[in-house]
Structure 1
Amino acid sequence: MKTLALFRHAKSDWSDARARDFDRPLNERGQRGALAMGEHVRDSGRRFDRVIASPAVRVAETIEWASKAWNRVFPVEWDRRIYLASSATLMDLLRELPGDPGSVLMIGHNPGLEDLIFDLVPDDGSSPLRDVVEAKFPTATFAVLELDVARWADVDANCARLVDLTRPRDLDPALGPQPHG
């Protein structure tokens, strides 16, 4: 059994239309969301043997803000392949993990993270939280999957159960969807 936690970067700032996508920082709501999710993960007592992340600015800042809540800095392995990766690329990355850690935290982007959940978790009703992901996997969402594999090299479609899903709005309604107007 392996544990995979997925953490989508927090809300990014779109105010500078000239900024490259890779270089977009978090906005103020994103900072609050990353901090709140960091507190949630800290309070859950979850530990990770390895943390791998996209090197995009919004991911690095998500980790920075979440780490403030965790009150510790995690050694992060930056992997550019995670940046805007497809589910297939993310699955390959998991299969290639050296050292066969028991638990991994991957921090990255949609649609890749969401699609990875759809590929790993069967659509058979065994993981009711999968329906929540189908509705939306918003920024700063944290998901935990249990994979029925002995080694990461064995990761394949339909090998997981989605056992926990926390969205920022679950922690603070002010971090949920904002009314347009």
Structure 2
Amino acid sequence: MKTVFFARHAKSSWDHAELSDFQRPLNNRGLRDAPFMGKLLHAKGAQPDLIISSPAVRALTTAEYFAKALGIAPSEIRQEKSVYEAFPEDIMELIQALPDTLSTIFLFGHNPSMTALANQFSPGFIANIPTCGVFQVDAEVAEWGAFTSETGLLTAYHYPKQYFS
């Protein structure tokens, strides 16, 4: 079986107009949500063989908080520039090219791609993956090349507002 935990970055700050979109940091809510969600998934038994992240500051910082909660060194995060501003098919190509020795990955990216991907795997409609939302997709396949919207199914979906008011 192959499993991908797709994560949208935590809430970012718009307080620094001089920063580019790529450089935007997390805001206070994002700094609360990212460690919480990482610990939540760790408590649910999630353990990735690989963490892949967009190198944008908000996505990479989110990935680093998750890595820490999962007992993985931040230096082990694989930064993929192609995830920033990616189309869903770009992300699927990246996943399908992974080594088959890996079973579980976490992938940190951005909307609208995360919501579009969720809807490729979901039996229902998801209007929006909120910031720091994470959805799990499982596929009963032996090779990443066979990981598609036909073989994968969204099996879990978590986001901070389920746990905070």
Give me the TM-score of the superposition, normalised by structure 2.
Answer: 0.91
Residue of structure 2 equivalent to 1:52:
52
Q: Show the counterpart of 2:80.
A: 79
What corresponds to 2:89 in structure 1?
Answer: 88
> What is the DSSP-based 3-state SS (H/G/I as helix, E as strand, rest coil) of the residue aligned with 2:85?
coil
8 Å CA contact retained: 1:5, 1:144: yes
Which residue does the alignment assign to 2:143?
A: 151
Q: Secondary structure at the match of 1:31?
A: helix
Q: Whole-Å Cα distance in 2 between the matches of residues 135 and 85 of structure 1?
A: 19
- 1:171 is the counterpart of 2:160: no
SS in 1 for 2:40: helix
Give the corresponding residue for 2:109.
108
Question: Are the equivalent residues in 2 in contact too, given 1:146–1:161 (CA < 8 A)?
Answer: yes
Q: Distance in 1 between matches of 2:68 and 2:140?
A: 33
Residue 130 of structure 2 aligns with which residue?
138
Counterpart amino acid of residue 12 in structure 2? S
- The question of 1:98 aligning with 2:90 is answered no
Give SS of 1:17's match.
coil
Distance 1:63 1:155 in 2: 22
Aligned-pair distance for 1:72?
Answer: 4.4
Once the two structures are superposed, the pairs formed by residues 61-76 of structure 1 within 5 Å of their partners are 61-70=61-70, 72-74=72-74, 75-76=76-77
Identity %: 32
1:20-35 to 2 correspondence within 5 Å? 20-35=20-35
Runs of 4+, deviation exceeding 4 Å: none
Deviation at 1:45, TM superposition (A): 1.4
Aligned to 1:177: none
Question: Would you say the 8 A contact 1:100–1:152 is kept in 2?
Answer: no
Counterpart amino acid of residue 137 in structure 2: L
With structure 1 as the length reference, what TM-score do the two structures score? 0.83
Once the two structures are superposed, residues 79-121 of structure 1 have per-residue CA deviations (whole angstroms, 9 ceiling, x without a partner) of: 10111211010011011112441111111111112212222x2
Please tell me the residue identity of whatever aligns with 2:17: A
The residue type equivalent to 1:170 in the other structure is Q
The Cα RMSD (Å) is 1.7
Where does 1:3-14 land on structure 2 (aligned, <5 Å)?
A: 3-14=3-14
AA in 1 matched with 2:78: E
CA contact (8 A) 1:52 1:107 kept: yes
Deviation at 1:71, TM superposition (A): 5.1
Q: Residues 4 and 66 (structure 1 numbering): CA distance in 2 closer, same or farther, change over 3 Å? A: closer
Give 3-state SS (helix, strand or coil) of 2:102's partner: coil
Query: What 5-or-longer segments of structure 1 have no aligned partner?
Result: 174-181
